[in-house]
Amino acid sequence: MADFNKISEMLQKGKAKDVEALVKQAADEGVPPGDILGKGLIAGMSIVGDKFKKNQVYVPEVLIAARAMHAGLKVLEPLLAKAGVKPLGVVAVGTVKNDLHDIGKNLVIMMLKGAGFQVIDLGIDVPAEKFVKAAQDGAQVLGLSALLTTTMPQMKSVVDACKSANVKAKIMIGGAPVTQAYCDEIGAQGYAPDAASAVDVAKKLLVA
């Protein structure tokens, strides 16, 4: 009998090996992979996300929980594909051109994956054209991270490039110097102050 609470609890504690073993056990017992994902891994990661928003846990705990989630996802991914479980949506995330900071971006990616999105990691120092290409290839949301005041204008370049290329993807921005006011100013569709909020914003943008 699959113990979803145990999977969630071990994930929150960052116990990667336990998560992997529990997920394998549940899969071997014939529990649908979508249930293991939703009721075990995603449930655990969303508790971590909520605690992170409330400053009850910090970056290291989130990274450790995310590593445990990856251990579970590694087992589940082929089974999910076989079962035809659809991701919530496709998000391409990158740090903008001339910016090499990636810790926040990686946290955003982990949270989005933890919530059930398919995520394409575009990396760091990503030029506008690469974001446009990701949208043309099927990303529904483009996630842009910037940590430097000098690279924030690159976000506007991406917004402009997307307009020129007439791509339909919604643009979500974030990073320490970025604000809602800046988001409004450049015409991006969403701003998230932290990695957990990025999940809420991406969900909203998909239905907007």
Of 38-46, 80-88, 102-110, 155-163, the segment contacting ligand B1M by CB under 6 A is 102-110
Burial of 78 (0-12, 13-18, 19+ CB in 10 A): exposed
Given candidates 61, 102, 121, 200, which one binds ligand B1M under the rule CB under 6 A? Answer: 102
Nearer to ligand B1M, 39 or 97 (CB): 97
Residues 68-97 that bind ligand B1M (CB under 6 A): 93
Task: List helix spans (H) across the chain.
Answer: 4-12, 16-28, 33-35, 43-53, 59-83, 103-114, 128-136, 153-165, 180-186, 195-207
Q: Are strands 90-96 and 118-126 parallel, antiparallel or unpaired?
A: parallel
Count residues binding ligand B1M (CB under 6 A): 29
Structure tokens at 42: 């995603």
Given candidates 17, 29, 56, 100, which one binds ligand B1M under the rule CB under 6 A? Answer: 100
**Site residues (CB under 6 A) for ligand B1M?**
59, 93, 98-105, 107-108, 143-145, 147-150, 172-177, 192, 194-195, 198
